[in-house]
Amino acid sequence: KQEVTQIPAALSVPEGENLVLNCSFTDSAIYNLQWFRQDPGKGLTSLLLIQSSQREQTSGRLNASLDKSSGRSTLYIAASQPGDSATYLCAVKQGGSEKLVFGKGMKLTVNP
């Protein structure tokens, strides 16, 4: 059974710092890995998707990497801003299934 872990559960940083968010998963037979952002009471916004054959994806100040063999992904946020404050969720889709398995998320607070 796939398990996805995000540590730490919460992080508070001053504005301007470069951040690394970690995600680990137990079963390397994944189809893709997706990073989401969720603001309080809102839906999930897709940030980056990495397919199983890819090593990284970039969008603006965000960069996500994937190391399937070690079961790890990282989301790098450059020059953090207060507007980046949200909960960040990592999720993996298994090969052969439409099911997306989520980590418990990491609540990020960026202080001005």
Partner 1 sequence: DTEVTQTPKHLVMGMTNKKSLKCEQHMGHRAMYWYKQKAKKPPELMFVYSYEKLSINESVPSRFSPECPNSSLLNLHLHALQPEDSALYLCASSQARGYPGLAGGANTGELFFGEGSRLTVL
Q: Residues interacting with partner 1, by CB under 8 A? A: 31-32, 34, 36, 41-46, 49, 51, 89, 91, 93, 97-100, 102-105
Peptide bond preceding 8: is omega within 30 degrees of 0, i.e. cis?
yes
Q: What is the spatial distance between Cα 21 and Cα 68, in angstroms, rounded to a whole number?
A: 16
Three-state secondary structure of 37-86: EECCCCCEEEEEEEECCCCEEEECCEEEEEECCCCEEEEEECCCCHHHCE
Shortest approach of partner 1 to residue 48 CB, angstroms? Answer: 10
Shortest approach of partner 1 to residue 45 CB, angstroms? Answer: 7
10 Å Cβ neighbour count for 105? 20
Q: Which is nearer to partner 1, 83 or 96 (CB)?
A: 96
Q: Which is nearer to partner 1, 25 or 36 (CB)?
A: 36
Q: Which is nearer to partner 1, 90 or 110 (CB)?
A: 90
Strands 10-14 and 106-111: parallel
Shortest approach of partner 1 to residue 16 CB, angstroms? Answer: 28
Q: Which is nearer to partner 1, 18 or 45 (CB)?
A: 45
